[in-house]
Amino acid sequence: MAAPEAVERRRMHASSSEAHRTQDETKQAFKTTEFFAMVGVIGAILIATAVSDSLNDVRAWTLVAAVAIGYIVSRGLAKSGTKYTGGEDPLNRNSN
């Protein structure tokens, strides 16, 4: 059986190494291609609504909502496998 000091030392070493491995495996939302694709598609929908007579406001905002929902679902799926614990400031990660 291991000595209590050795067990405690292993536990402390494991917790300190886990503290350094808290980075997400996904990027922040505004750094992804999905974000820029969503902004571009929403912009195109709104411009097409302003120019076209056949695309009314209700249909345009429905399409914008559908694009936004698709983006939210894609980000949720991308982040579903991450181990982010929320203990660090996501905008200031490189301050260590």
Query: Which residue ranges make up each domain of the chain?
Result: 26-81
Q: What would the mean pLDDT of 12-31 be, rounded to a whole number?
A: 58
Q: For residue 47, what pLDDT is reported?
A: 95
DSSP H or E stretch at residue 45:
helix 33-51
Which residues are CB-contacts of 35 (< 8 A; sequence separation ≥ 6)? 29, 71
Q: How confident is the model at residue 79 (pLDDT cuts 50, 70, 90)?
A: confident
Q: For residue 78, what pLDDT is reported?
A: 75
> What's this model's pTM, rounded to 2 decimal places?
0.57
In this predicted structure, the answer to whether residue 83 has a pLDDT above a threshold of 70 is no
Identify which has the larger pLDDT, 64 or 86.
64
